[in-house]
Structure 1
Amino acid sequence: MKKVMAFFKKYFGYLKFLLFLSIIVIVVRELLLLNKSLSYEALLSIFSQIAPWKTLVMLLVGGIAVIPMIGYDWILNKNLDQKLSKKYLFETSWMINTINNVAGFGGVVSIGLRSQIYGKNKETKVLAASLSKIFLFMMSGLSIYSFFALIVGFFADVLTTDHHWIWLLGGSLYVPVVLLIHSIWNQKKEQTVNSKEALSLIMISFLEWTGVIVTFFVVGQLMGLNQHMASIFPLFVAASVIGVLSMIPGSLGSFDLVMLVGLTRLGLSNELATSWLLLYRFFYYIVPFLISLPVFVHTSANQINMRYEGVPKQLFFQVLQKLTVISYYVFGILLMMSNVFPKWFDQYIWLQQFHLPTAHLFSQIPNIIIGSFFLIVGRGLAAKVKRSLLPAYVLLVGTSIYCFLLGYGVLLQIYLLVLFLLTFFTRKELFRKQFVYAWEWLTIDGLILAIFSISYIVLGVENRQGLPKSFHFRALHLVNVSIGEIWLYSLLIILSIILCSALLIRYLQGTKELLGEAFNEALVQNILRNYGGNLTSQLVFLKDKRIFVYQNADEPTVFFQFAIYNNKCIVMGDPSGKKEDFPEAITAIIEAGDVLGYTPVFYEVSEEFVFLLHEYGYEFFKMGEEARVYLPDFTLSGKKMKGNRALINKLIKSGYQFEVLQPPFSPEMMAEIKVISDAWLGSRKEKGFSLGFFSEEYLQRAELAIVRDENQAIVAFSNIMPTYDKEVITIDLMRHHPQKAPSGSMDFLFIHLFEWSQAQGIDYFSLGMAPLSNVGVTQKSFIQEKIAHLVYQFGSRFYSFQGLRKYKAKYATKWVPSYLLYHRDNWILYVMIALLIVDDESKRE
């Protein structure tokens, strides 16, 4: 027994929740059974014969009869020491008791509901004891009435038939037995119910069954059935006892059968007896139960939602919001297309709601514009923009009035009403401050409008009912329009759609707000100085990007550098700063961007961020591999480096020298290397964003590695990029004069840089990334990576992918993968286009 109790105590929470789910199933089942058992035709026939005021009285009596049962929950929560608001207690108690009335099962359902709703964070023993008190005395009122009915029936001599006295006798013994058990518990000092509380519970139960009996007889009196009370009272109580003992939901069947047989034997016709029982059941069971359904749905949803940490609620509203958006699109498309295919719309009853057969050309203009507005507002709602809520309400109300004035069907008005309610209930899903029309969305909406426009211009006239080739008609009864001119007017209609849509989009966009802030040198320097950086951190000083700063306890610890194009926030490289704060910083930039309608795209990030960002819905694409030289092992000795040794010795003998200069640099030197940079660029334009461009201010921030010829003239240079640690170092601009620099000058520069970095105690020298290197080479690679591999193999005529990989492989001892991470809502094609644009349009001096 102890093991059973221990098991029950351990898994009591799970058992409660399982019981609660079972009750949900029971309620749904009872709704289906009620739908089958209730005759709506019979109810309508009965109501048609009863005065409205009598129906209202029945409704009030049935509702008042439920109220005494709230006492059970008042006592329960008093025992559990819970102070609930009167409103909450009334709503939940009404729900529990009306569901229990319909579901039946001897009160077990009410115990399960009370346990789940009121028993949160309560000890199992205390909760079980408190619930047992309620369960013990719930039938005491019926027991008292069984005793009264036994006496009344004995004197009225109505208990000889069907042995109803046996059920009444058994029912009347319930209270004495309960009181006896109560007395024994008291004597054993195991008191669970004090005398005052027991009396209160008995009184509540008595009032509950008083309400049941009064409701039944009031319904009969209002129906005009003046039957003798003494004859029917014992019959009703006996039938109630039988119904409770059967544990059948709502006593359906057992109670009704006993009452029907008894009433007909008392001289009541079968039709009247059935009507009496039907109205009693409707006003005492069904109506209160239906009133409680919204509370039950809300409570059940909250219970399940809390059980699974809020995920069900989020999922529900996400689905509801998507359904709302789809509904806007469906309505807009149907309203516009009804003017293109009027004959097809006339073939289906439900589609006829969208079409007016008598409409002339100019009356189609509002339909088309309204339809396009539904698409744009739907897109705003899909983007979850707050500003789209007001246009949505105005559009729905205005369209409803417009459809009413033009005589559209009732179905259309119902659709608009449902759409209004969906918009209202999902309004909290709208959180973005502005509308940024993503290329992906623009493509979808553009295709829809393009298909409609072409269809309208090409097919719209041909499909107009009864329109001969030489037809002329008076549009709006003002002007004559020929067939040839109809296409011209159709084109003007399309242009008006574009104009109106552009105005609506402009409203949704609001005042443009950018993510992050402009470059702040003091802030950036502070983070790099305190927490360090990485290979791309120095690019922030190009000042062609914005920054997003994450603060931990009001202290800036991490920054991102990025550029914005369309809705894409292109983040360059890994974040810089305190590595321990990287996860929180990534969350911060994603959430901040989301509010403003921007989606971060992480460009050339390391492998550790792939898994970190996957849970945010990000896909990854391998951009290539970064070549690194392990400096402690680097040496010019050995057979492999024989060619490099010969090259270095040759250039040294020719008078070429390597030197690392410290800033600041003189204007004359800057002018000298500017000549080299311009000659190296030739007719090409500077790139930016992910690459350094020639900027005096930028170059003045770090050491400059140069190669001088025998005349001390600079022929090649490279700026060394600080990485703010001793692990890795790299360079940015590496340029040589095409005519003056000798062959092999870049190798000369690299090898000396390796040796210089080696002397600084640095572990790795980064040669930069080899684009598309080692991408899509395995059978399990993503399809976009396999396409990239084909570009790598066959694109050398445009860009020397393989040549660059081969050159860097001469020195590289380690290859580090580099990734592009983009949200799955973005299309990779548009992501790549955005990358190309920001690289080409970055601000340069």
Structure 2
Amino acid sequence: MKKIINFFKARSKYFKGIFMVTVVVIIFFELTNLTKTLDFHQLKIIFRDLPRFKLILMAVIGFVAILPMLGYDIIFHRMLKRPIKTSYLLETSWVTNTINNLTGFGGFVSVGFRSAFYGGKKEGPEFLHALSKVFLFLMSGLSFYSLLSFLLVSFGQGSPYLHQYWPLLLGGGLYFPVIILVTHLKKTGILGGMPLKTAIALMAVSVLEWTGVLASFLSIAYFLDIHVPYLQVIPLVIAASVFGVITMLPGEIGSFDVMMFMGLATFGIPRETIAVWILLFRLFYYILPFLLGILLFAKNLSGRFNQRFEGLPRDLAEELAHKILVFLLYSGGIILALSGTIPRAFTELSFLRQFNPFTYHLLSKSILLILGYFLILMGRGVSARVKRTYPIAILFITLSLGYTILLDFSLGAVLYFGILLLIMLFSKQELFRKQLVYSWEMRLVDFFILGFLTLLYIFIGVYNRPDHPLHRHRLPTFFVFPSERLWLIGFIGILIVAFFMILLIHYLEQPQKKIAMPYDENRITNLLMTQGGNTDSQLVFLGDKDTYFYRQDDVDLVLFQYRIKNDKLIIMGNPAGDASYFEPAIEELIDVANRQGYKLIFYEVTEELVMILHNFGYDFFKMGEAAEVNLLDFSLTGKKRKAERALMNRFNREEYSFEIVQPPFDSQLLTRLKEISDEWLAGRSEKGFSMGFFNESYLKREPIALVKNSAGTIVAFANLIPSYEPKKASVDLMRYDKTVVSGIMDYLFIQLFEYLKAEGYEKFDLGMAPLANVGTTRHSFFQERIAYLIFHFGSRFYSFQGLREYKDKYASAWIPKYTLYCRDSSIIFSMIQLLLVDNAPVKNKTTHPLQKFMDWI
């Protein structure tokens, strides 16, 4: 015996797996059999005719009748003297007992479940002993009622039909005294060593269990107004149950039914009434608790499966459930709205009848419209994963389900709202965003759906006007609306929904929390000086972008600069700071932005960041190339620089000079620089975001390169900016007086290269050439071709053509720059939003109405 136990213990993992698979197969076939044994047409008639409160009470009694069985598992753990989490105990106990109820097999399924749920790899004999004792007492309550029924039949209280089954009742009644006697007298072994107190407790639980069975069965007779002598029906139920246990049939289906039909017929009850009685008993005592047990079993099984595969199955399941939920809300809302708009189409067109789960009778068309529009609205909040949607959706779906059950019963609608409520309850974790950011993509989808439904409804109203010429056209008959008055009520309902829609969207958009941290110049400077940066980092001091710091142990390590447009958080360039912390910093920012409803776009970043972001699910395309000059190799000698030498000689003959001035600057200098900048702009508004603009506080931070004419007047300038990289420099703002001779900027650059080379610099960043070598061939990435078209035709600041050719005169290398966007974002909308941000005017005294509209959206 010991060898057998050790054999099974050593392979317990495999046997548990086989058991779980077997149970899943059994459940599948059991559900298949249920669909065959249940008469859904008859159920529909019953639910239509019976008062709703009676059906609800039957269901409540059926669920309450299951509760005593939880005592088996409570006592089981007390016998083992082991702690267990209450929620886990209740969940697994419900699964064990409800599935065992319906699957049958004499209680052996419950043994397998308890072993799988509560057993471990190192369980000793005490576990097996406790398990066997609980198993032995499962039928003690039925045995108790069998003995009681035997006495009732013997003294003439039972049905005459049962007299032939007295041996069955007597045999069943002798079971519990024998079990109590054996477990009390035997001191060791599987059956021995059980205290009388524990035996009585298990016996009491079993008696309560079968009391629940009888209460559920007899209460249905009471609610159906079936008048029978209960003392004579009780022995009949017990005898049929004993016979069902002996046959070990799943849920005693067949054996129990035959005996009950024959026995109840002796009381003069019609067979149709008996069929309804047994059908409702099976539904409320067996099937509904069984379905809940399956859901809990699936939850437990998925939990184990999820743990084994490190959380991936749960993530996939939650994502799938979320998509199903959104689909059900939108599709249900559209169907309901169409049902209120073209009701006859759902009776005349067969394919619409098949797709319509709703068969309302009492609801007016206007309420159908309102219900449909609200479902679509709930779909928007759920689709956006807004946390505030959850209680509203639960309340709305619950009220719809309650109305359907109590006032206008429709089996399809009950199933639809029931499934919707169930998925909604289990999808709470998927609704994590703190606010709704109503993106352009969302508005387009909602405008298309709601706009189409509204326009269709208006068209129906116009078409049904008696004097309207549209009647001369042959249109399907389902466009005929019941009455003009009903149409008007429905239209008013649409206006009411539109009002509530605005209120709800406004509510979901609150509290409009921002991600940005307060602008702190000292804090930014300290991070750049201690952690490092790049050529784009200096743009943060323009003050036209928001900032976000990544910190560890109260130390700033990484800095992002960005601007928000609609639902896009557009980050300018590579983050500044310690590159070893880029990955956790990006992960934190993505999480923070996601919770606020924003999606990230990384603009003009390098290849090293592309690899990091690709792992976070971002798509990318090449945005252009940045020119880099190798100052160590730069020289005006040689045939290649013949044109540049001639240019320098010309400017030297005309007595132009080059100078680097250090801050602080006097007001006269800044005034002259402003004059040059304004002349250069020629009335155009300055861009910001990805390039500098004229800002005195920004210019005062770093040295400025100046070009003066022979009279000593400044005619061109460029501000030097630190690259925060060793021996690398760059410039940002470059402006010149357009009245001077051509080539002035070449003169400035060449002088600057010579100056920086003498100062020990090795590289110079000439800046981006947007769209350089991007989307220019038919074999380019589709995203790059779209980006090229949008930026090429959308930029109003300067032409991209010729910029690369100009910089290529000096460039030693071209560094590719990329733009990355979230995969679930529209590439077209993302590029348009990026274009609007990159081309937005820094200041505009008279804002154009179109710009106001774009700012609003």
Normalising by structure 2, we get a TM-score of 0.72
1:209-250 Cα deviation digits (max 9, x unpaired): 87899999999999779999999999997x688646xxx645
Q: 1:215 to 1:14 in 2, by over 3 A?
A: same
Amino acid at match of 1:103: T
Amino acid at match of 2:577: G
Range with bigger deviation, 700-709 or 381-390: 381-390
Q: 1:683 to 1:489 in 2, by over 3 A?
A: farther
Q: 1:494 to 1:295 in 2, by over 3 A?
A: closer
Alpha-carbon distance between aligned partners in 1 of 2:134 and 2:781, rounded to the nearest angstrom: 68
Does the CA contact (< 8 Å) of 2:401 and 2:418 recur in 1? Answer: no
> Does residue 575 in structure 1 map to residue 572 in structure 2?
no
Deviation at 1:693, TM superposition (A): 0.5
Does the CA contact (< 8 Å) of 1:343 and 1:465 recur in 2? Answer: no
Deviation at 1:673, TM superposition (A): 2.2
Alpha-carbon distance between aligned partners in 1 of 2:27 and 2:17, rounded to the nearest angstrom: 15
Does the CA contact (< 8 Å) of 2:141 and 2:204 recur in 1? Answer: no
Structure 2 residue aligned with 1:738: 738
Q: 1:344 to 1:732 in 2, by over 3 A?
A: same
Alpha-carbon distance between aligned partners in 2 of 1:574 and 1:84, rounded to the nearest angstrom: 49
Matches for 1:55-94 after TM superposition, within 5 Å: 67=68, 70-71=71-72, 74-76=75-77, 78-79=79-80, 81-85=82-86, 89=89, 92-94=92-94
Amino acid at match of 2:568: K
Alpha-carbon distance between aligned partners in 1 of 2:377 and 2:28, rounded to the nearest angstrom: 39
> Does residue 134 in structure 1 map to residue 131 in structure 2?
yes
Alpha-carbon distance between aligned partners in 2 of 1:103 and 1:503, rounded to the nearest angstrom: 51
Deviation at 1:539, TM superposition (A): 0.6
Deviation at 1:383, TM superposition (A): 2.5
- Which among 295, 299, 302 is matched to residue 301 of structure 1? 299
Range with bigger deviation, 202-211 or 640-649: 202-211
Deviation at 1:732, TM superposition (A): 0.7
Does the CA contact (< 8 Å) of 1:627 and 1:767 recur in 2? Answer: yes
> Does residue 36 in structure 1 map to residue 33 in structure 2?
no
Does the CA contact (< 8 Å) of 1:686 and 1:693 recur in 2? Answer: yes
Q: 1:748 to 1:778 in 2, by over 3 A?
A: same
1:538-559 Cα deviation digits (max 9, x unpaired): 1111111121222323333222
Structure 2 residue aligned with 1:750: 749
Alpha-carbon distance between aligned partners in 1 of 2:827 and 2:43, rounded to the nearest angstrom: 62
Q: Secondary structure at the match of 1:195?
A: coil
Does the CA contact (< 8 Å) of 1:623 and 1:775 recur in 2? Answer: yes
Amino acid at match of 2:36: K
Deviation at 1:372, TM superposition (A): 5.2
Does the CA contact (< 8 Å) of 1:77 and 1:83 recur in 2? Answer: no
> Does residue 382 in structure 1 map to residue 393 in structure 2?
no
Q: 1:305 to 1:546 in 2, by over 3 A?
A: same
Amino acid at match of 2:830: V
Unaligned runs of 5+ in 2: 155-164, 222-226, 472-485, 845-857
Does the CA contact (< 8 Å) of 1:704 and 1:718 recur in 2? Answer: yes
Structure 1 residue aligned with 2:692: 692
Matches for 1:106-185 after TM superposition, within 5 Å: 108-119=108-119, 123-126=120-123, 130-131=127-128, 133-135=130-132, 138-139=135-136
Alpha-carbon distance between aligned partners in 1 of 2:73 and 2:391, rounded to the nearest angstrom: 47
> Does residue 832 in structure 1 map to residue 831 in structure 2?
yes
Alpha-carbon distance between aligned partners in 2 of 1:343 and 1:278, rounded to the nearest angstrom: 34
Deviation at 1:332, TM superposition (A): 4.9
Does the CA contact (< 8 Å) of 1:142 and 1:205 recur in 2? Answer: no
Alpha-carbon distance between aligned partners in 1 of 2:515 and 2:492, rounded to the nearest angstrom: 39
Deviation at 1:124, TM superposition (A): 0.6
Q: 1:576 to 1:504 in 2, by over 3 A?
A: same
> Does residue 603 in structure 1 map to residue 571 in structure 2?
no
Q: Secondary structure at the match of 1:384?
A: coil
Q: Secondary structure at the match of 1:730?
A: strand
1:779-820 Cα deviation digits (max 9, x unpaired): 874312234567899999996545222232333233222122
Range with bigger deviation, 286-295 or 592-601: 286-295
Q: Secondary structure at the match of 1:124?
A: coil
Q: 1:231 to 1:794 in 2, by over 3 A?
A: closer
Range with bigger deviation, 730-739 or 123-132: 123-132
Q: Secondary structure at the match of 2:839?
A: helix
Structure 1 residue aligned with 2:193: 195
Root-mean-square deviation (CA, aligned residues, Å) is 6.2
Structure 2 residue aligned with 1:481: none
Alpha-carbon distance between aligned partners in 1 of 2:284 and 2:369, rounded to the nearest angstrom: 47
Deviation at 1:326, TM superposition (A): 4.1
Amino acid at match of 1:620: F
Q: 1:635 to 1:280 in 2, by over 3 A?
A: same
- How many residue pairs were aligned? 793
Structure 1 residue aligned with 2:848: none
Q: 1:135 to 1:526 in 2, by over 3 A?
A: same
Structure 1 residue aligned with 2:719: 719
Structure 1 residue aligned with 2:285: 287
Deviation at 1:726, TM superposition (A): 0.9
Range with bigger deviation, 786-795 or 654-663: 786-795
Q: 1:608 to 1:489 in 2, by over 3 A?
A: same
Q: Secondary structure at the match of 1:659?
A: strand
Q: Secondary structure at the match of 2:730?
A: strand
Does the CA contact (< 8 Å) of 1:544 and 1:689 recur in 2? Answer: yes
Alpha-carbon distance between aligned partners in 2 of 1:412 and 1:30, rounded to the nearest angstrom: 23
Structure 2 residue aligned with 1:546: 546
Alpha-carbon distance between aligned partners in 2 of 1:27 and 1:808, rounded to the nearest angstrom: 72
Does the CA contact (< 8 Å) of 1:715 and 1:741 recur in 2? Answer: no
Does the CA contact (< 8 Å) of 2:560 and 2:576 recur in 1? Answer: yes
Range with bigger deviation, 293-302 or 68-77: 68-77
Q: Secondary structure at the match of 1:443?
A: helix
Range with bigger deviation, 279-288 or 67-76: 279-288
Amino acid at match of 1:305: G
Structure 2 residue aligned with 1:820: 819
Unaligned runs of 5+ in 1: 472-485
Does the CA contact (< 8 Å) of 1:534 and 1:724 recur in 2? Answer: yes
Q: 1:140 to 1:776 in 2, by over 3 A?
A: same
1:716-766 Cα deviation digits (max 9, x unpaired): 2211111222164321112222222542x3333323333444445445322
Structure 2 residue aligned with 1:483: none
Does the CA contact (< 8 Å) of 1:629 and 1:811 recur in 2? Answer: yes
Q: 1:339 to 1:727 in 2, by over 3 A?
A: farther
Does the CA contact (< 8 Å) of 1:216 and 1:280 recur in 2? Answer: no
Does the CA contact (< 8 Å) of 1:770 and 1:804 recur in 2? Answer: yes
Alpha-carbon distance between aligned partners in 1 of 2:652 and 2:659, rounded to the nearest angstrom: 13
Deviation at 1:690, TM superposition (A): 0.8
Does the CA contact (< 8 Å) of 1:792 and 1:802 recur in 2? Answer: no
Alpha-carbon distance between aligned partners in 2 of 1:45 and 1:388, rounded to the nearest angstrom: 36
Alpha-carbon distance between aligned partners in 1 of 2:23 and 2:546, rounded to the nearest angstrom: 56
1:432-459 Cα deviation digits (max 9, x unpaired): 34333211122222233443455455x3
Matches for 1:664-679 after TM superposition, within 5 Å: 664-679=664-679
Does the CA contact (< 8 Å) of 2:528 and 2:577 recur in 1? Answer: yes
Alpha-carbon distance between aligned partners in 2 of 1:397 and 1:403, rounded to the nearest angstrom: 10
Deviation at 1:470, TM superposition (A): 12
Does the CA contact (< 8 Å) of 2:72 and 2:134 recur in 1? Answer: no
Q: Secondary structure at the match of 1:556?
A: strand
Identity of aligned residues (%): 35
Alpha-carbon distance between aligned partners in 2 of 1:798 and 1:840, rounded to the nearest angstrom: 7
Q: Secondary structure at the match of 1:291?
A: helix
Deviation at 1:30, TM superposition (A): 1.9
Range with bigger deviation, 528-537 or 586-595: 586-595
Alpha-carbon distance between aligned partners in 2 of 1:531 and 1:559, rounded to the nearest angstrom: 10
Normalising by structure 1, we get a TM-score of 0.73
Q: 1:394 to 1:200 in 2, by over 3 A?
A: closer
Q: 1:65 to 1:706 in 2, by over 3 A?
A: closer
Matches for 1:375-774 after TM superposition, within 5 Å: 375-388=376-389, 418=418, 421=421, 425=425, 426=427, 429-452=430-453, 454-457=455-458, 459-464=459-464, 502=502, 504-510=504-510, 512-726=512-726, 728-743=728-743, 745-774=744-773
Does the CA contact (< 8 Å) of 1:389 and 1:427 recur in 2? Answer: yes
Alpha-carbon distance between aligned partners in 1 of 2:359 and 2:289, rounded to the nearest angstrom: 36
Alpha-carbon distance between aligned partners in 2 of 1:45 and 1:398, rounded to the nearest angstrom: 23
